[in-house]
Structure 1
Amino acid sequence: MKKLTTIFLFFSFCLGFSQVNPNDTIRVENHPKDSIPAAKPFSEAQVIQDIDQKNAPPKVTKLSPSKAGLYSAVLPGLGQFYNKKYWKIPIVWGAVGTGIGIALWNDKQYKRYRNAFVAELNGLPHEFSGINGIDKTVLGNAQDSSKRQRDYAIGISALIYILNIVDAVVDAHLYEGRHDPDLAITPTMINDQFGNSYAKTGISFSFKF
């Protein structure tokens, strides 16, 4: 009887351990909010658009040719300043100033010879009276020569003025937003043309108009 009781208790004890309490288990459930969504594949159009954006040239700054021409018309060299071609400003000023200076000097000489010529015709004393070889013919030729040189200087000055406007308009039209300087000095490698395997270092000059 004791053996049967012992066997019964043993089997009851094993049966109790074999049962699993649902409250003691740990469950891992995938909640919809905590789940990591799968990467959405890109469409072919999106891929092509992304490649085009990466390969697209950078946006460039545009200048207004009309503004550049107007600035140069108001003041020679101002259009070149607007186009950031600063090295052209002294050239424009020098050319226009030289032409105007020559025209003014010849106009002054023309007036001198003209007054003397008129006085010589009327038999009146003038600036060149008493100088041997000075007569109405010489004074007439001198006034004509001074007048001709004055007109040439005025024409050349007007041409330089017009070229100054054209240059400003063309520069503004061809401007591509370059930020590199007009005059650049950069190191470079020079290949030896006489068969030497070693390359030589040097300096290169680049100049842009």
Structure 2
Amino acid sequence: MRRLLFFCTLLMFHLTFAQVKQDSVPVSQKEELSIMENKSPEEIAQEIEKVNKRKIETISPTKAGLYSAILPGLGQMYNRKYWKIPIVWGAVGTGVGIAIWNQNQYNRYRKAFVASLNGQEHEFSNIPGVTSQVLGNIQDKSKRQRDYAIAITGLIYVLGIIDAVVDAHLAPMKADPDLALSPVLIYDQSETKPATPGLALRFKF
């Protein structure tokens, strides 16, 4: 009698454990298992190969740099970084505007300086204290500021090309689902300090 009772108890425990284990499998996994069972090994291998060969859109760094060299901001448009286009245009446009304004000022004071040296009337003749030396200093200052503006604008132009090329190089990494940079909480191993936010680079293989 005891053996029969022990055997029945063991059988009920086994059936209960098997039912729990079966129910613990999610519905999606059950569907996948049933689908996988209906496929041949060759078809399963093809499905796995198809998943592993996910197409990642490639962007040519050469084209990005060339487009950005032809027209500032065009490389950013090619990389689909549209929010950078107003920044590039604003920076280059501001530099060009400052250079043109200082060039106009230089021409203006240069003309007055030459006229003052020749003893001729100019637009600043009626202003007290404006001598040839003052006009010469102002024209030199305008020329120097124009040169600075041109140099800075050229630097911004080159940085725009570099930014487009670097973005194009990093585009496949950003589109790769196996490589992710995500925020995490960093815990202190000694548990003396609270957790601090940080970034984690995760690579799946």
Report TM bin, short chain: 0.5 to 0.7
Larger helix percent: 2
Q: CA deviation at 1:53?
A: 2.3
Report the equivalent of 2:160: 164
- Structure 1 residue 97 and structure 2 residue 122: aligned? no
Which residue, 175, 178, 181 being the options, matches 1:178?
175
Task: Find the residue that maps to 2:127 and give its secondary structure.
Answer: coil
Q: Distance in 2 between matches of 1:126 and 1:141?
A: 16
**Structure-2-length-normalised TM-score:** 0.62
Show the counterpart of 2:181.
none
- Are residues 51 and 120 of structure 1, via their aligned partners in 2, closer, same or farther at CA, if it must alter by over 3 Å? same
Provide the secondary structure at the position in 2 that maps to 1:166: helix
TM-score with structure 1 length normalisation?
A: 0.60
Q: Report the AA paired with residue 88 of structure 2.
A: V
State the Cα deviation string for residues 36-75 of structure 1 (Å, max 9, x = none): xxx9984xxx699458526626220001111111111111
Q: Which amino acid aligns with 1:86?
A: Y
Q: Name stretches of at least 5 consecutive residues in structure 1 with no aligned partner.
A: 1-38, 180-209
Determine which of 52, 56, 59 is the counterpart of 1:56.
Answer: 52
Change in Cα spacing, 1:109 to 1:60, as seen in structure 2 (3 Å) is: same
Would you say how many aligned residue pairs link Structure 1 and Structure 2? 139
2:65 maps to a residue whose letter is G
Secondary structure of 1:175's partner?
Answer: helix
**Counterpart for residue 150 of structure 1:** 146
The answer to whether residue 113 in structure 2 is matched with residue 117 in structure 1 is: yes
Cα shift readout 1:69-107 (whole Å, capped 9, x = no counterpart): 111111111110000000000000000000000000000
- Is residue 76 of structure 2 the alignment partner of residue 80 of structure 1? yes
How many Å separate the matches in 1 of 2:101 and 2:92? 14
Structure 2 gaps of 5+ residues are 1-37, 177-205
Structure 1 position 173, deviation (Å):
1.0
Instruction: Please name the residue that 1:70 is paired with.
Output: 66
- State the identity as a percent: 64
RMSD: 2.7
- Classify the secondary structure of the residue corresponding to 1:133: coil
User: In structure 1, how many angstroms separate the alpha carbons of the residues matched to 2:39 and 2:63?
Assistant: 51
Compare CA radii of gyration and give the structure with the larger one: 1
